[in-house]
Amino acid sequence: MTGGQRRIAALPMYDFPELGEANDALWAALARRLTGAGVADCPTALTRDLDHRTVWAHPRLLLGQGCEYPLATASAASIRVVGTPCYGVPGCDGANYRSAIVVRSDDGATGRAQLRGRRCVINERGSNSGMNLLRAALAPLAAGAPFFSTVTVSGAHRRSA
């Protein structure tokens, strides 16, 4: 330990309860490799009690997870990207992922244009997957004018849904 505080590792953006076991297994494998490569004071477990911005600014952060856009814009001076996941889910190819526009199952909207004038909930204004990709998908339809009647910031992808 250095300075009385242990290093931390966290996957705060996508460490949902149903992914806990998988994330623990991922971290255990990473920690073994890091320790084997000589990294000192490698955490044995993930830190789960801090939000993503606190994790990114933590002075003892060893490894964390984040959305590319806020990492590149807000945290560039204090952290370094060391890897990008490869996704194994439908619609994703390697490091390329996708976002979805979600509406209620009983909603009659079948396309983006039908969402004009409705309310929108995003996770945060600085999110690539939760805001920038949505903006890119709707900009051609908005033609420079407001598209939604309101936009509310929820603070998390799950709360947006």
The rounded distance, in Å, linking the Cα atoms of 121 and 159 is 9
CA atoms within a 13 Å half-sphere pointing along the CA-CB vector of 161: 7
pLDDT of residue 82: 86
* Beta-carbon contacts of residue 125 (< 8 Å; ≥ 6 apart): 131, 153
* Per-residue model confidence as pLDDT tens for the chain (161 residues): 444 578 999 998 788 899 999 999 999 999 999 999 999 999 999 999 998 888 888 999 999 987 777 777 766 567 788 888 887 888 888 888 888 899 999 999 999 999 999 999 998 888 888 888 899 999 999 999 999 999 999 988 788 88
Residues 6+ positions from 7 with CB-CB distance below 8 Å = 41, 42, 43, 60, 61, 62
pLDDT at 136: 92
Are 34 and 1 in contact by the 8 Å Cβ rule? The answer is: no
Q: What does the CA dihedral 73, 89, 84, 128 come to, rounded to 10 degrees?
A: 0
Question: Other CB atoms closer than 10 Å to residue 7's CB: what's the count?
Answer: 18
